[in-house]
Every structure is written in structure tokens, then in C-alpha cells.
Amino acid sequence: METILAFVIGLLFAAGVYMLLRRSIVKLILGIMLLSHAINLLIFTAGGLHKGRPQFTGYGMESDIPNPTDPLPQALILTAIVIGFGITAFFLALMYRFYQVTGTEDLDELKEGDTK
């Protein structure tokens, strides 16, 4: 399972970086989203994957699971997803406003601010 996830993470990272390097702002945002998903999976995998070892038991069930899986990485990922969601929403709004004001979504148009 780790091997498969490692490949998936690598693929997501590669796709994310590729999208970051494109000229369109929409693709830039997609790139950042892909990267943040890659990192969520990275935390998930680094936290340990164990088959048949639950993190929690339901109410009234036996309370002692031998070797439960660590639930914390999933809590971290949940937080990271929520933060990522907020930031993506902001970035999309920013992009829309940028498009309204400048009439373009080409990142090459950003150069002007650097040279002057």
C-alpha cells in the first residue's frame, strides 16, 4: 500500500509542479491544489498505514483494541484540507478580480511590476 501511495504522491507532485509552471492563473491554482493534495497524502502515508487496525471503536464495543492505528495524521489532514479549501476560495476570488481589472489571466502580464 505504501508503495502505491508513494507513486501516487510522486505523480501528484509532478503534476502540481507542472501546473505551477504554466502561464495561466487558473492552472496555477490547480497546481497548488494538486500539491496540497499530494502533501495530505504524504502526511497520511507518513503517519503509518496498517491493515485491519482501526483507530476508534464504536460506543459499547470493546474498548481495548490491540495496537490501534494513530488517528492524529487524519486530524492533521482534516485541518489542512479546511485551510486549503479557504485559501483556494480566496485565490479563485483574487483571480477573478485580477481578470476583471486587467482583462487577462496570463502570468506573463505580471512582469511589469517587477521592472519598474
Binding site for another protein (CB under 8 A): 20, 25, 28, 32, 35-36, 39, 42-43, 45-48, 70, 72-73, 76, 79-80, 83, 86-87, 90-91, 94-95, 97-98, 101-102, 107, 109-110, 112-114, 116
Half-sphere exposure for 13 (CA within 13 Å, toward CB): 10
Q: Return the ∠ at Cα 103 (arms to 99 and 109), rounded to 5°.
A: 90
Contacts (Cβ under 8 Å, ≥6 apart) of 107: 23, 24, 25, 28
Looking at the Cβ atoms of 30 and 60, the one nearer to another protein is 30
Q: How far is the CB of 95 from another protein (least distance, A)?
A: 8
Q: How far is the CB of 61 from another protein (least distance, A)?
A: 23
Looking at the Cβ atoms of 2 and 60, the one nearer to another protein is 2
CB atoms within 10 A of CB 42: 18
SS3 59: coil
Looking at the Cβ atoms of 57 and 102, the one nearer to another protein is 102
